[in-house]
């Protein structure tokens, strides 16, 4: 969690080529004033030590950052089973949902339609004289 402020500052202050500006410039109308050197009255040796310490601490924090693997939600390695009612295994007829813009008072389902073949993920039906396979 110590890196989060640095990451957020970098995201706000980084120039985006497609926007031709930084996010901070779009939000505030000007670039951020990033932390810089203290006033010139500070002893040069102390300034060098502070700068070196800050740089090494920053380098260590950035080195600890590890990218995370993106989540795969569909079509990934692990497939999830969807719920299929057990009564569907013995069904002789099914209703098919009409996936289109319907006219007013038009039914959302077509059917009952006779089932020709049933597999674990598809149903083959006989509709208008031809066979259609529908995914469950």
Provide the strand spans (E) within 1-136.
93-97, 109-118, 122-127, 130-135
Cis peptide before 56 (omega within 30 of 0): no
Q: Residues 118, 121, 126, 131: what is their CA dihedral angle, to the nearest 10 degrees? A: -120
For residues 125 and 112, the answer to whether their CB atoms sit within 8 Å is: no
pLDDT attached to residue 42: 52
The closest of 97, 89, 100 to 123, measured between CA atoms, is: 89
Q: pLDDT tens-digit profile of 71-96?
A: 666 655 555 566 778 888 888 999 98
pLDDT of 47 above 70 = no
How sure is the predictor about 116, in pLDDT bands with cuts at 50, 70 and 90? very high
Tell me the domain boundaries of the chain: 4-64, 86-135
Give the global pTM: 0.40
Q: pLDDT tens-digit profile of 9-35?
A: 888 888 888 878 888 888 888 777 776
Report which secondary-structure segment, H or E, holds 26: helix 23-28
Q: Which of residues 4 and 46 earns the better pLDDT score?
A: 4
pLDDT of 101 above 70 = yes
pLDDT of 37 above 50 = no
Q: Which of residues 57 and 104 earns the better pLDDT score?
A: 104
């Amino acid at each position: 969690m110590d890196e989060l402020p640095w990451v957020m500052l970098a995201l706000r202050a980084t120039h985006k080529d497609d926007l031709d500006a930084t996010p901070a410039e779009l939000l505030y109308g000007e670039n951020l004033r990033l932390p810089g050197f203290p006033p010139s009255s500070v002893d040069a040796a102390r300034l060098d030590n502070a700068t070196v310490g800050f740089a090494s601490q920053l380098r260590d924090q950035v080195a600890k950052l590890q990218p995370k693997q993106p989540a795969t939600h569909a079509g990934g390695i692990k497939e999830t089973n969807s719920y299929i009612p057990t009564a569907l295994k013995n069904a002789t007829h099914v209703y098919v949902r009409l996936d289109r813009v319907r006219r007013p008072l038009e039914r959302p389902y077509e059917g009952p339609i006779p089932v020709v073949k049933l597999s674990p993920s598809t149903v083959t039906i006989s509709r208008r004289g031809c066979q259609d396979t529908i995914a469950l």
